Structure 1
Amino acid sequence: MADAYHHGNLRAAVLERAAEVIESEGPYSFSLRSLAADLGVSHTAPRHHFGSREGILNALAVEGFQGLAESLRAVRAEGGTLLDAGVAYVRFAADHPGKFQVMFAPRLLDDGDAELAAARSAAFAELTGGVDTLQDRGIAVEDSAAAVVAGWAIVHGIATLALSGNLDTSGIRALFADTDLLTITRRSAGLLFGVPSGEESP
């Protein structure tokens, strides 16, 4: 089985498997040895690529922030609003729950890692830049910094509630006639941004 991981494929396979384990069991539920056993390779093979368990978590977070930045950048390139960016944020979290958990768990990561810092900064630059779209649509923003925090808080909160299962166990999801997560996001975040709940994205 090890032959399947030549030419750098092992690195991608380790990250994919780690994300799967984190999604189902949380970020503390794997070791380099367990990932190697899952993939049928030598227990030292993952260490060659990542050095340590923290190295795997950092790499997952880097990939996550890069992917989030790409998603938000695509929304901006298509002329989307800050609300559209918020929906894209929740979609990214739902599509990549393992990475999303790690991205926002700083105690698990090496904040001195330059690649991680750059990826995180790029993602947040896209979030902060989205406030300009409110002004473009005639929505007054007296405090742009507060608007960034408020916007991020609501979509991150929705994503976290959904991934943790609390959106369902609380019964809140049942209040919506349409229980699609992205519809819930658009309606809820739309209240903050002064967008009628029935308005569709461009």
Structure 2
Amino acid sequence: MTVEKTKAKRPYHHGALREAMLEGAERILAREGLEGLTLRAAAREAGASHAAPKNHFDNVAGLLSELAAVGFRRFERSLLDAAAGIDAPEARLAALGRAYVAFATSYPGLFLLMFRSERLDLSRPTLFEAMNAAQSVLRDAVGAELAPDGTIPTASAARLVAAWSLVHGYAMLQIDGRLDKIVGNLSDGGDATTLLGAILDAGGGQLRAS
């Protein structure tokens, strides 16, 4: 599992407290996990007073939700960059699958937070919009277009869920170390990325657009 990358601590300047706290919150998340992430801890990490966060985040759920939104926007950029210039549907899906797992294993704490809905305020516009934008990348790749009323045909939903389940499940297995034994016994000396590539290049039995 790749160690989560974070920026070096730097003091905030006037008008940039929100960004400084989000950067600080991500550092805490990588260093101490979700248990250590509180409003006071994020303020302290940003070099601000413990009362300062109230100007930007109502409570810890607000802070976590805004941090998750940062994650989803970063996630979307990673997916789009990976698929840029690839026209063949199956090759595009394979590239998205690799990027999905790469993001998850590069930012495990942030990735896990993004899918901890019980800790997030899904009604916050920034989080809602960021989640939808990221999800639309995969939805578009499998041709699962939403109707104007927001509904989706069962066949399209099945393709979307199959693709999502495969890469999300693989990412979680890798983050949890459940693949270590299998990867360690690969006869050709490959690693977790090699194994994922073999699954995706074969179409995964599920990662096929219509």
**Same structural fold, with TM-score higher than 0.5 when normalized by the shorter chain:** yes
* Number of aligned positions between the proteins: 181
Q: Deviations over 1:109-165 (max 9, x none)?
A: 111112211111111110111124xxxxxxxxx944222211111111121122223
SS in 2 for 1:28: helix
Maintained 8 Å contact 2:22/2:42: no
TM-score where L is the length of structure 2: 0.75
Distance, in Å, in 2 between the alignment partners of 1:54 and 1:120 is 16
Matched residue type, 1:65: F
Q: Does 1:106 align with 2:106?
A: no
CA contact (8 A) 2:29 2:36 kept: yes
Q: In 2, Cα distance between the equivalents of 1:24 and 1:161?
A: 21
Instruction: Supply the AA of the counterpart residue of 1:161.
Output: L
Aligned-partner SS, 1:110: coil
Give the aligned partner of residue 195 of structure 2: 184
Same amino acid, percent of matched pairs: 38
Query: Cα 1:121–1:95, aligned 2, differ >3 Å: closer, same or farther?
Result: same
From the superposition, tell whether residues 157 and 14 of structure 1 become closer, same or farther in structure 2 (CA, over 3 Å): same
Q: 1:63 maps to which residue?
A: 70
* Aligned with 1:174 (options 158, 166, 184): 184
Q: In structure 2, do the counterparts of structure 1 residues 70 and 38 end up closer, same or farther at CA, with 3 Å as the change threshold? A: closer
Q: Deviations over 1:81-108 (max 9, x none)?
A: 1011010111111222222111100000
Q: Distance in 1 between matches of 2:205 and 2:117?
A: 33
Change in CA separation of 1:39 and 1:114 when aligned onto 2, cut-off 3 Å? closer
Q: CA deviation at 1:11?
A: 2.3
Runs of at least 5 residues in structure 1 that lack an aligned partner in the other structure: 133-141, 196-202
Structure 1 or 2: more helix by fraction: 1
Extract structure 1 runs of 4+ deviating beyond 4 A: none
